[in-house]
Structure 1
Amino acid sequence: MKRISILAAAFSFFAFGIAGTGHAAEAIEGNWKTASGETAEIGKCGGAFCVTLKTGKHAGRQIGKLSPKGSDYTGEITDPEADKTYSGSGSVSGNSLMMKGCVMKILCKSQTWTRL
């Protein structure tokens, strides 16, 4: 369940953004409390943003990489418990980050992270 939460969180970052409207995405950089209570840091890495766990069993592990796309972010996220990578997206609204992770774009899970 914890891995699903982390995965879903990472994938649903931007599930509720306004795609394709030309609006810039809200800043995703910073520290976030995941749905499972761990802390994740999102920071620039090349032309994208890397998601790295800072606390918990998998502290120090990079679990995602997202690129800005309109008002959202899209990319990949890894479930550290199962060591499986999925397509994902996310959107920032104030101090909330909606993460969505999907398998074959059909089976999706979502969760909200809170900015620290």
Structure 2
Amino acid sequence: MGKFTMAALILMATAGTSLAEPLLGTWRTAPQDDGTMGHVRIAPCGAALCGTLVVSLDPAGKEVANPENGMLILTETRATGGGEYRGKIYAPDRDQTYASRLLLEGDSLKVSGCVLGICRDGGRWRRVE
């Protein structure tokens, strides 16, 4: 088997694995303290998953400009089994990074994070796409 054929097979196998990852896609965050929300797109980044804030929404759900759009919200996220994921989550409203725990339940994602023993419930995110 030639080098090109082997590389193509590896690429196809990797692509199939990525497509099967149920966390991939865009998720609407739970409202923050001020009622604002966002859309976070989760995609592969190296051996882990990352989530980028791609859209910001006002309390009425209308898209608004936000300098935080494009910011990485989820990093180093990996499946740990049973629909659970662990990694890091950045909360722009608190300017704080937490150790994250995500629990996938269909099109709902229960989000929480802890730093120095202090935990924060991030609410439920809903799949947009």
Relative to the length of structure 2, the TM-score reads 0.64
- Aligned partner letter, 1:61: M
Task: Output one character per residue of 1:63-98: Cα deviation in whole Å (capped at 9) or x when no partner.
Answer: 111111112100111112333211111011111011
1:81 is paired with a residue whose SS is: coil
> Mind listing any 5+ residue stretches in structure 1 that lack a counterpart?
1-25
The structure with higher relative contact order (CA 8 Å, sep 6+) is 1
Check 1:70–1:29 CA distance in 2 against 1; reply closer, same or farther (3 A cut): same
1:62 paired residue among 55, 69, 72: 72
- Give the length in aligned residue pairs: 91
What RMSD in Å do the two structures reach over aligned CA positions? 1.6
Runs of 4+ in structure 1 displaced over 4 angstroms? Answer: none
* 1:106 CA drift (Å): 4.1
Relative to the length of structure 1, the TM-score reads 0.71
> Mind listing any 5+ residue stretches in structure 2 that lack a counterpart?
1-20, 32-36, 57-65
Aligned to 1:30: 25
Are 1:93 and 2:105 counterparts?
yes
* 1:103 CA drift (Å): 2.2
- Aligned partner letter, 1:38: G
Is contact 2:38-2:53 (8 Å) kept? yes
In the aligned structure 1, how far is the partner of 2:44 from the partner of 2:109? Answer: 16
Check 1:47–1:86 CA distance in 2 against 1; reply closer, same or farther (3 A cut): same
Are 1:78 and 2:90 counterparts?
yes
Q: Which entry has the higher C-alpha Rg, 1 or 2? A: 2
